[in-house]
């Protein structure tokens, strides 16, 4: 039985191995970071889904609850707002490298079109530095670019209001509400 299974057997929800630390105590071990939440709300939700399909649940029941499990709340909110997938990740798993800018410079039609893309978007060093000031990110995935930006911005506001004052949305496209602002903030 692996450790994550034991964590779940002890009653925890959303147990996950978030990242490797890169430090090993012996040639046959590796350092890892684990996280789990004692979430009675999630257990209740799983029991409900046995009786009804998730799509049959009213959307409000997923998020109209006090934001006590803050990270879970934001993850559920992302899905409710239209993201296909949402997952909490550690910011140290985000790779920031120069080659991405070259890819953009030579071949991307959005190069130099707005401040969400190079060369106006924050550079690699600056992005690395800012990411190092955060420990956790909510990664969202979807097939509608502009909608994804709107979701990210909405989540940034939600996160701020429940206490994550540093919350900042990193998007690849401008928001539909910001397309007319040439100086809109953004990131690669």
Q: By CB under 8 A, name the binding residues for other proteins.
A: 1-3, 6-7, 9-12, 18-19, 21, 23-26, 28-41, 68-69, 71-72, 90-92, 132, 135-136, 163-164
143: DSSP letter: S
Cis-peptide, bond into residue 119, ω within 30° of zero: yes
Q: Is residue 163 within 8 Å of residue 70, measured between CB atoms? A: yes
C-beta of 96: minimal distance to other proteins in Å? 14
Nearer to other proteins, 20 or 98 (CB): 20
End-to-end CA distance of the chain: 41
C-beta of 150: minimal distance to other proteins in Å? 25
C-beta of 56: minimal distance to other proteins in Å? 26
**What Cα–Cα distance (Å) separates residue 79 from each residue in 96, 121, 138?**
26, 27, 12
Q: Is residue 183 within 8 Å of residue 156, measured between CB atoms? A: no
Nearer to other proteins, 121 or 138 (CB): 138
Nearer to other proteins, 73 or 116 (CB): 73
Residues 6+ positions from 168 with CB-CB distance below 8 Å: 130, 156
C-beta of 48: minimal distance to other proteins in Å? 18
Nearer to other proteins, 58 or 66 (CB): 66
Tokens of 143: 């097939």
C-beta of 97: minimal distance to other proteins in Å? 18
Nearer to other proteins, 35 or 146 (CB): 35
Provide Rg for the chain, Cα atoms.
Answer: 19
């Amino acid at each position: 039985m692996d450790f994550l299974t034991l964590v779940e057997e002890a009653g925890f929800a959303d147990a996950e191995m978030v990242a490797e630390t890169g430090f090993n105590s012996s040639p046959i071990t590796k350092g890892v970071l684990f996280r789990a939440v004692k979430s009675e709300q999630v257990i209740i939700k799983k029991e409900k889904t046995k009786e009804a399909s998730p799509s049959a649940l009213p959307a409000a029941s997923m998020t109209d609850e006090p934001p006590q499990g803050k990270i879970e709340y934001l993850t559920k909110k992302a899905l409710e707002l239209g993201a296909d997938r949402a997952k909490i990740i550690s910011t140290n798993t985000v790779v920031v490298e120069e080659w991405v800018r070259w890819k953009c410079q030579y071949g991307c039609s959005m190069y130099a079109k707005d401040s969400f893309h190079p060369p106006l978007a924050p550079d690699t060093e600056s992005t690395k530095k800012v990411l190092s000031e955060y420990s956790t990110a909510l990664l969202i995935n979807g097939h509608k670019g502009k909608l994804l930006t709107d979701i990210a911005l909405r989540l940034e506001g939600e996160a701020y209001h429940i206490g994550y004052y540093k919350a900042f949305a990193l998007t690849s496209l401008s928001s539909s509400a910001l397309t007319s602002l040439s100086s809109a903030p953004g990131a690669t």
